[in-house]
Amino acid sequence: LYSVEKFHYYIYGKQTVVHTDHKPLVAIFKKPLHEVSVRMQRMLLKLLKYDLIVKYVPGPEMHIADCLSRNFIHVEDNYNEDLELFVHSVGLNIPVGPNHFDKIREATKIDEVLSKIISYVQNNSWPEKSEFKSLELSTYFKLRNELTMLDGVLCLNQKLVIPSSLRPYFLGKLHETHSGIVKTKLNARQSIYWPNINQDIENLIGTCHTCNTHRNSNPKLPMMSHDVPSGPWEILSSDIFTFGGKDFLVIVDHFSKWLEVLELKNKTASELVSKFTFVFSHFGTPKYLISDNMPFDSLEMRKFCEEFNIVQKTSSPRYPRGNGTAEKAVGTAKAMLKKNDIKQLDMCLMNYRNTPIAGLDLSPFELLLFRKVKNKLPIIDDLLKPKFYNVEDVQKKLREIQLRNKFYYDRNTVDVPECEKGEKIYFKMDKTSSWSEGNVVENFCKVPRSYIIQDKNNNRYRRNREHIFIAKSHNNESSNSVVSDNDSSKNNNQNQYSFRDRMKVNRPSRYS
């Protein structure tokens, strides 16, 4: 201000470029007048009659100004009553009604913390930061240059500082229409403030039953692949699908990608047992069988698996990605049936099994039976002879395929923590339903990310972690909690880092 008024005769009415090494000034001059603090408003109002362009220049490059600043002339700032009135008129742009303003003023008078802050602001005398024992007072200390008084109410720039007694009331007003977290924060930033207001808004919305019931579905979880088998026909996946009014059973081998598609008379457990018996009579029984739940999880199927010493694993209900290998095989089988008559299904399967798998360069026939088979195409007899392959090489390629698929799949996923027993949660009955309250009964240890949960009516369900989100506790810490000296020193010790003293310049060793 002094320099502009000193050179008024030379710069008035002309566009003038001002170089400064104080970079925040560049942003301040670009802001509207009502968005800066009252202290800055006084300065900007005095400069309105000048056409100034403020540009940032690093301090080491401002040789003359840096030299003169070390021997400056002390000039007192003259108080201008008209200017003060105009500043207060700008402050009246705050969008708040008189009733609310009166409530805030009365509550501010009896607020212990704000009473201290007001005395500091009015006297323009703040204690040292180390003297503040509460986080709230420390927060106000950091903002002291932006605090001012407006008719008995403390303001932060153009926002009213709300006393602690009225914060629950204004939180309720902010969330009256159940807006989301981002919208609610944006609404609050227009006119009100208190320390930790963002966290209080998040806690309020996180514990709002209406918002939790109608919140969006969870994002996809990172891919969790099955273990690569040590050989063919060790791990099988199975599923049932319907096409053209008929039911089909699909069985796929995780190692060789061998595919079986069998038509079912019905979806009963006895029909499934007969089809599995037919397939196992050709290739033997696997070590693991992965499937959906019913009818695979029926008593008859369990006895069948126990009899043949097969470990049965079922995916979480309403979560088909838990049996992704079988789901992909279903897509392949449906593509065959769409393009061909059902009478040609066996021929389609033969061609599929005789075609090399991308990334493995071996066909399912070669991986399972160690040989190619003869079909309608001509083939040299030597190629039909049994040919053994290195199982470890195939395992390595399968792992590479899994890692590549996981890399691309996980780009749009979000990992979440595991649920604990007894934890309050919200869960989805199915993909399209709203969220329901419940609690975790136990972790379904056979399958990762699968939980047994219980609703309010004591009904139990099994759901995947993707269909669950952990409810926020109502016992959140208050935004104006006091930290004792001991706790404060502990926190400071935890956050201490070792930095080089940049004011201390060591003489190079070569000059020693």
The predicted structure's pLDDT at residue 157: 80
Residues 65 and 111 in one domain: no
Ranges of H-type helices in 410-494: 485-494
Do 358 and 250 sit in the same domain of this protein?
yes
Backbone angles phi, psi at 32, to 5 degrees: -65, 155
Query: Rounded distance, CA 89 to CA 110, Å?
Result: 27
301 lies in some domain: yes
Among 60, 87, 114, the domain-final residue is 87
Instruction: Find the DSSP H helices in 92-165.
Output: 98-109, 112-123, 135-142
Distance, CA of 66 to CA of 81 (rounded, Å): 34
* Cβ-Cβ contacts under 8 Å for 41 (sequence gap 6 or more): 33, 87, 90
φ/ψ of 291, rounded to 5, equals -155, 175
| 186 & 83 share domain | no
Q: Does residue 445 belong to any structural domain of this protein?
A: no
Indicate the angle between helix axes 112-123 and 98-109, nearest 10 degrees.
90
Does residue 112 fall inside a structural domain?
yes
Domain boundary among 389, 410, 431: 410
Domain count of the chain?
A: 3
Q: 148 and 189 share a domain?
A: yes
Task: Flag whether 333 is in a domain.
Answer: yes
Rg of the chain over all Cα atoms, to the nearest angstrom: 36
Whether residue 370 contacts residue 387, with contact meaning beta carbons closer than 8 Å, is answered with: yes
> Are residues 251 and 270 both part of a single domain?
yes
- How much is the mean pLDDT over the chain? 84
Do 172 and 110 belong to one domain?
Answer: yes
338 in any annotated domain:
yes
186, 259: one domain = no
CA 445 – CA 459 distance, rounded (Å): 20
**Quick one: 17 and 159 in the same domain?**
no
Q: What dihedral angle (degrees, nearest 10) is formed by the CA atoms of 88, 94, 96, 100?
A: -50
Statement to judge: residues 342 and 261 lie in one domain: yes
Ranges of residues in the chain whose predicted pLDDT is under 50:
79, 81-83, 85-87, 90-91, 476-503
Angle at 38 between CA 101 and CA 138, to 5 degrees: 80
If asked whether residues 53 and 167 sit together in one domain, one would say no
Structure tokens at 50: 């000048």
pLDDT of res. 402 = 94
Range of the domain at 203: 94-213
Q: What is the structure's pLDDT at 509? A: 61
pTM comes to 0.66
Domain endpoint, select from 87, 120, 139: 87
pLDDT, tens digit (0-9, with 9 covering 90-100), for 109-120: 999 999 999 998
**CATH code of the domain containing 246:** 3.30.420.10
Helix (H, G, I), strand (E, B) or coil at 299: helix
The answer as to whether 8 is a domain residue is yes
Residues 159, 38: contact at Cβ < 8 Å? no
Spatial distance between the Cα atoms of 149 and 197, rounded to a whole number of angstroms = 20
pLDDT value, residue 276: 96
Q: Is 404 part of any domain?
A: yes
Tell me, what CATH number does 172's domain have? Answer: 1.10.340.70
**Same domain, yes or no, for 102 and 76?**
no
CA angle 71, 75, 78 (to 5 degrees): 165
Residue 487's pLDDT is: 40
- For helices 299-307 and 269-283, the axis angle rounded to 10 degrees is 20
The answer to whether residue 359 sits within a structural domain is yes
* Domain identity same for 185 and 207: yes
